[in-house]
Structure 1
Amino acid sequence: MSWGEVEATEPEFTRTVRERFGTFRHHVLATLRADGSPRVSGLEAEFRLGELWLGGMPGARKSDDLLRDQRFALHANPGPGTDMHGGDVRIAGRAEWVDDPDTRLRFVEEVDPPTPFDLFRVRITEIVRIWMDDQEMVIETWRPDGRGLRVLRRGNDTPVREQSGP
């Protein structure tokens, strides 16, 4: 599912996720190497034109990984200290290589990236946000399974409770 499609179904949740990613410029991307082992790389992610985009320099290992196996996980930069204002946010999915000249031109007009560049459009399979609400840990999970946003709450002295929506 595209970022815009998720935004349309969960506007408040995606606004929070997008703000969290917007707090810092650089984030952490996990891809799969040819032997199946994980690779972690720094990356800038862009929310533009109703999509989430991943980019990189041509020939970068992360690009090679994504061209071979589209699966990835993207973790928002937690920032300095330990408070992680806005929570711990992760997006997983598939990164589709973009070579369409018109799409690349619209992206360049919107973002003005250094050139040349590799460009991938994200298809989201999961978004997770974990944060603290008073003394409870709140785990928000969205997947494109039609169930919408799932929210689990867990306190030190209480069992896990699930609710629909925030």
Structure 2
Amino acid sequence: MTRTIPATGTPAVRWADFAAAAPDLAGAAEARFSTHQHHVLATLRKDGSPRTSGLEVRFLHGELWLGMMPDSVKALDLLRDPRFALQANPGEGTGMGGGDVRIGGRAHEVTDAAVKGRFTEEVVVPEGPFHLFRAELTEVVRTRVEDDTYLVVEAWRPGEPVRTVKRT
């Protein structure tokens, strides 16, 4: 289900909706994020400048989940302004196996105890309180090298097909 973000008019969808619309790109993106445990989250500070932080992500039950320590600056940033960019860990060296993947969207805090309980049953979470955010996607981009010749950029936005550009 596509939902329009009021402030920008930008459509946003759940991970499951993205996966249904662009299964190959979704599979490649999820595989890329599953390669490493830690990734980079960009949020907006109070003054509008960017902040980057390390983050673990989970793909469960058709959702992309972002979990954070209580009152961490990235969580406070998202509570104030839910827009984010998420960059997959590129790994060691320059190989970028599986390509480079980034996701843009909005993070919505989940406070429902049953949902958070279900999350902690499936993911190891330190004891105590934590912030849990469900991501709504506005963009997914994968950049990779093909045949050591082409730079291939695959970009998806809600309501649009995957757009692929090859450059030499």
The alignment's TM-score, normalised by the length of structure 2, stands at 0.89
Instruction: Name which of 56, 60, 71 aligns with 1:48.
Output: 60
Instruction: Judge which range, 110-119 or 16-25, deviates more.
Output: 110-119
Unaligned runs of 5+ in 1: 156-166
Instruction: Name which of 37, 46, 64 aligns with 2:76.
Output: 64
What is the aligned partner in structure 2 of residue 133 from structure 1?
Answer: 146
Give the CA RMSD over aligned residues: 0.8
How many Å separate the matches in 2 of 1:148 and 1:39? 31
How many Å separate the matches in 2 of 1:8 and 1:31? 27
How many Å separate the matches in 2 of 1:114 and 1:5? 30
Instruction: Name which of 73, 80, 84 aligns with 2:96.
Output: 84
Q: Which has the higher contact order (CA 8 A, sep 6+)?
A: 2
Question: Do structure 1's residue 151 and structure 2's residue 164 form an aligned pair?
Answer: yes
Deviations 1:69-112 (CA, angstroms, capped at 9, x unpaired)? 00000000001101111111000100001001121111112213
Instruction: Name which of 46, 49, 53 aligns with 1:34.
Output: 46
How many Å separate the matches in 2 of 1:108 and 1:49? 13
The alignment's TM-score, normalised by the length of structure 1, stands at 0.90
What SS class does the counterpart of residue 18 from structure 1 fall into? helix
Unaligned runs of 5+ in 2: 1-12
What is the aligned partner in structure 2 of residue 142 from structure 1?
Answer: 156
Question: Do structure 1's residue 103 and structure 2's residue 119 form an aligned pair?
Answer: no
How many Å separate the matches in 1 of 2:124 and 2:104? 25
Q: Tell me which stretches of 4 or more aligned residues in structure 1 moved more than 3 Å.
A: none
How many Å separate the matches in 1 of 2:126 and 2:16? 25
Q: How many residues align?
A: 154
How many Å separate the matches in 1 of 2:15 and 2:160? 17
Deviations 1:120-163 (CA, angstroms, capped at 9, x unpaired)? 0000000000001120110000100x2211101111xxxxxxxx
